[in-house]
Amino acid sequence: MLGAAHWGTDVAAPSDHAAVYAVAPGVMLTAPNPHHFSVGFGMSHYYVYYHVRVAPWLHRGSPIGTGQYLGRVNFGMWHVHISEFVLECGWVDSRRPTGVLRDPANRGTVEIGPIHAFRSTATAWSSLRLASAPTGSDPGTRESLLDLHGVVDLQAAIVVSPWRRMSRFAQLPLAPSVVRGYLAPLGRPALAFPPVDTIDGSRMLPQPPLLWRYWAWGTYHDNDCYYLPRTTCGENIVWHVAAYPGFDTRSLPDGVYEYCVQALAVSGAEAARCSDVLIRNT
């Protein structure tokens, strides 16, 4: 994926050009245009609606109530993108337990793929390593988990698969809310050695180029099938599960340990995976 992080929630429409209603009260903060507009109580907390053609009688300053008719989905879009901004936190997930788009029934599953190690270099943390599709070979130098030395970049694919899926389009996996990676004594994964690396979903991921300090090669997003007949969709998110600029194995004595990765979805679903690693610097 070569673009920025997706800062909101796509809500599937039941039909093309479907009616759109307000998810929360406020006033129209921006002059509506054919693409997006904002509703809220000032700039401290507001919602942005994208892909909506606003009703002609609404304008900047119009009072909006929850459930009020706002307009219709733009032809061909089949969804509304909703972003929520809170001054204290920035862009937040409206699907959180206290959010307007929460769905308590949608537990989903968190999937953590195998943990891999790579030599940590400057390109390991830049967009130069990313591919737009899951093809080709990783340009990084692969390291054995049983022969770690120096500074290594640890990676794992982590996605959330919703239980409730879209009916018209292929349901792509979602990103987890929290990712935690840490080294632990062999057989005792609950005891973490410092440092503990945490990707905290309460803060929005940074935009490029710093985004690639979180997403690694193999991350891609393909939603062509949403708009083009007979095309495919797919997604994978590979995370750096050790903090930038990599895990310095020289900070601990040589020996056998476990490297563990934990992930949490916004719904509360969670998963964990540990792999044996051998640190051998001498």
d(CA 20, CA 146): 55
For the segment 236-245, what is each residue's pLDDT rounded down to a tens digit? 899 999 989 9
* pLDDT digit string, tens, across residues 147-162: 999 999 999 999 999 8
For residue 126, name the pLDDT band (cuts at 50, 70, 90): confident
SS3 of 156, please? strand
pLDDT above 70 for 139: no
- The verdict on 254 and 114 lying in the same domain is yes
Q: Which domain range does residue 221 map to? A: 109-279
Tell me, what CATH number does 84's domain have?
2.70.70.10
Using CA atoms, how far apart are residues 63 and 227, in angstroms rounded to an integer?
34
Assess whether 35 and 171 both reside in one domain.
Answer: no
Are the CB atoms for 70 and 55 separated by under 8 Å? yes
Cβ 202 vs Cβ 176: under 8 Å: no
123 is written with which tokens? 């390109």
Within this chain, do residues 267 and 238 fall inside the same structural domain, yes or no?
yes
pLDDT in tens, 269-282: 999 999 999 999 99
Euclidean distance between CA atoms 56 and 63, whole angstroms: 14
Q: How far apart are CA 93 and CA 10, in angstroms?
A: 11
Choose the weakest-confidence range: 45-49, 175-179, 210-214. 210-214
Report whether pLDDT(4) > 60. Answer: no
What confidence tier does 129 reach under pLDDT thresholds 50, 70, 90? low
pLDDT tens profile 68-109: 999 999 988 888 999 999 988 888 889 888 899 988 887 789
Domain identity same for 197 and 115? yes
| Token code pair at residue 253 | 């004595």
Is 4 within the bounds of a domain?
Answer: no
Instruction: Tell me: do 74 and 163 sit in the same domain.
Output: no
Same domain (yes/no): 47, 126: no
| Cross-strand pairs, 158 | 112
Q: What's this model's pTM, rounded to 2 decimal places?
A: 0.85
Q: Which of 44, 67, 92 is the last residue of a domain?
A: 92
Q: Do 183 and 257 lie in a common domain?
A: yes
The residue ranking higher by pLDDT, 63 or 212, is 63
**pLDDT exceeds cutoff 60 at 8:** yes
Same domain, 143 and 275: yes
The pLDDT score that the predictor gives to residue 136 is: 45
> pLDDT at position 256, please?
97
Tell whether the model's pLDDT for residue 209 goes beyond 80: no
